[in-house]
Amino acid sequence: AEAKHRISSGINAEYGVAEVFRAVSAAEKAVNFDTTCCVARQTLARSQINIGELGLACTNIQKSILLNPAVKDAWEDLKEIRELLRKRNETTWALLPVETRPGIVNQRLGM
């Protein structure tokens, strides 16, 4: 539960923006050093969440899972990232004018 809260809460208030970007940089270096390290991939994914890079986070957590499917935290992270992506997409679609939303456009085109 604590890990979920940490992921979904975004940037932790006790860390500044510079520290968050240093964390991303360090995680990227760890992945570049050992591309087969599932923990490095998971750490990179978590740090990417903190800067709003959900697509990259999703890719890296999936790679982490492929490297070691037994890591339960990684599966939980994937679930959380997908939920964050779903919420972001819902918000994005809600901001679009109704006539430009995909479902409406497809109906008008007879699809």
pLDDT category at 17 given cuts 50, 70, 90 is confident
- Quick check: 10 pLDDT over 60? no
The residues, ordered by sequence, that sit 6+ positions from 60 with a Cβ below 8 Å of its Cβ are: 31, 41, 42, 44, 45, 48
Of residues 5 and 77, the one with the higher pLDDT is: 77
Measure the CA–CA gap between 3 and 65, rounded to whole angstroms: 17
Model confidence over 32-84: pLDDT tens digits? 999 999 999 999 999 999 888 999 999 999 999 999 999 999 999 999 999 99
- Say what the pTM is: 0.69
